[in-house]
Structure 1
Amino acid sequence: MLDGAVREIINPPLDACGRRVAAWGVTANTVTVVGCVIGLAAAFAIWQNAYWVGLFLLLVSRFCDGLDGAIAKATESTDFGGYLDIVLDFVFYGSIPLGFVLADPQANAVAGAVLILSFYVNGSTFLAYAIMAERYDMHSTVRGEKSLYFTTGLAEATETIAMFVIVCIFPSAFVVIAYIYAAICFYTALSRIVLAGRVFSRR
């Protein structure tokens, strides 16, 4: 929901940084992989109850996630780059809740499992919609130039990162926040299914 507004703010400095990094010969795919590795390190830090370290690392990871697109824009976007970006995004988004589950399985396991399930369901509706949109040659720039057709929703990257930041600052609130955010993700998935029914049933 907030990605569009946030993008308007962060894209100009990211694009400038992307051009500079691209001039050094660093590729977008390299930054994508480095960002994912740092994200996994954030999950490991959370597992070890080093929540502030985890918070710092996950923010660095998401900076890399924005930077790779800026580098691709400054050089050359490829289909594989878009594919790699979305796959490793899913790796990151699943690893952070897993870190909280491993940090305190007795307290966090069920809520973490529900949250990861909601990510899985929400992600599947997003990707399935993108596949059908490609089949019908549909295009959208609602979130800028993307490798996949991008449908908006209540739960997007900005909201998810904000939720991760909150639970890193207040780890004891993970269970409550995980259930609330899972409900938001399920709602987003349901709304996307309804949208797909309206759009694709006419085709």
Structure 2
Amino acid sequence: MLDRSLRAALSGPLEAVAAALDRPFLTPDRLTVAGLVLGLASAGAAAAQWWAAAVVLWLVSRVADGLDGALARRRRARGRGNDSEAGGFLDIAADFVVYGAGVFGVAWGASAAYGAPWWPFLLVLLTYYVNGTAFLAFSSIAERTGRQVDDGRSLSFLGRIAEGTETIAVHTLWLILPFWAWQIALVWSLFVAVSAVQRIVAGYRLLR
């Protein structure tokens, strides 16, 4: 829901940082992998109940995730980039791994520290699975049939109420408030479920 406006607001700062980081040894793919490693480290820190470290690692991993695309666009504009879609594929795969690991890490840590039940986190994972299936299937078929939704990302993304911005905010919130993590997860799973239904309906209508 907020991705488009946030991307517009952050495009300038991200491009400035990407310009500062634009060195031969630093590639967009390496930034993607750095974001993946940091995201997994955040999940591990959450499982170990190192909540402050988990928050910092999570936020830094998402900054790296935003910078990889900015650096790739900068290099393509200057004729130095690679037109391969491999980077976009790596980026979305890394996001799925980090989001899933983040849910697992918080569930483990909150359960050990506060006796939080696991089922709200399992609901989150289920709704993530349905959401991912809907928008990845739509993107694949839309590409083949020439019905892409072009918003500058690698995939045709059906934006709805639960997007990347909201996901980052919720994952940050339950790391800051781990004693309320399962309640946050329960509410979040409802939002993601509504978003999944919206994507399935919208995707079906667009492809008819």
TM-score range, shorter chain: over 0.9
Deviation at 1:146, TM superposition (A): 1.4
Pairing partner for 2:170 from 150, 163, 168: 163
Q: Does 1:117 align with 2:117?
A: no
Task: Name structure 2 gaps, 5 residues minimum.
Answer: 76-80
CA distance in 2, matches of 1:189, 1:112: 16
Q: Is the alpha carbon distance of 1:49 and 1:116 closer, same or farther for their aligned partners in structure 2, counting shifts above 3 Å?
A: same
Work out whether residues 107 and 182 of structure 2, in 8 Å CA contact, stay in contact via their aligned partners in 1.
no
Structure 1 CA distance, aligned partners of 2:117 and 2:35? 26
Q: Could you say what the CA RMSD is over the residues aligned between the two structures, in angstroms?
A: 1.3
Deviation, structure 1 residue 97: 0.9
Counterpart position of 2:192: 185
Normalising by the residue count of structure 2, what TM-score does the alignment of the two structures yield?
0.91
Residue 138 of structure 1 aligns with an amino acid whose one-letter code is R
Between 1:36-45 and 1:132-141, the stretch displaced more is 132-141
Alignment gaps of 5+ in structure 1 = none
Question: In the alignment, what sits opposite 1:55?
Answer: 55
- SS of structure 2 residue aligned to 1:74: helix
Deviation at 1:22, TM superposition (A): 2.1
Rounded Cα–Cα distance in structure 2 between residues aligned with 1:70 and 1:113: 33
**Hey, what does 2:69 align to over in structure 1?**
69
Q: Please give the alpha-carbon distance, in whole angstroms, between the structure 2 residues aligned to 1:35 and 1:94.
A: 14
Contact kept? 1:100, 1:108, Cα under 8 Å: no
Between the aligned residues of both structures, percent identity stands at: 36
Aligned residues: 199
Q: Aligned pair 1:147/2:154, yes or no?
A: yes
Give the equivalent residue in structure 2 for 1:136.
145
* Counterpart for residue 81 of structure 1: 87
CA deviation string 1:53-106 (max 9, x = no partner): 100000000000000001111122421000000000000110111002221165
1:24, distance to aligned residue in structure 2 (A) = 4.4
Identify the match of residue 194 of structure 1 among 192, 197, 201: 201
Could you tell me how far 1:127 is from its partner in structure 2?
0.4
**Aligned-partner residue type, residue 101 of structure 2:** S
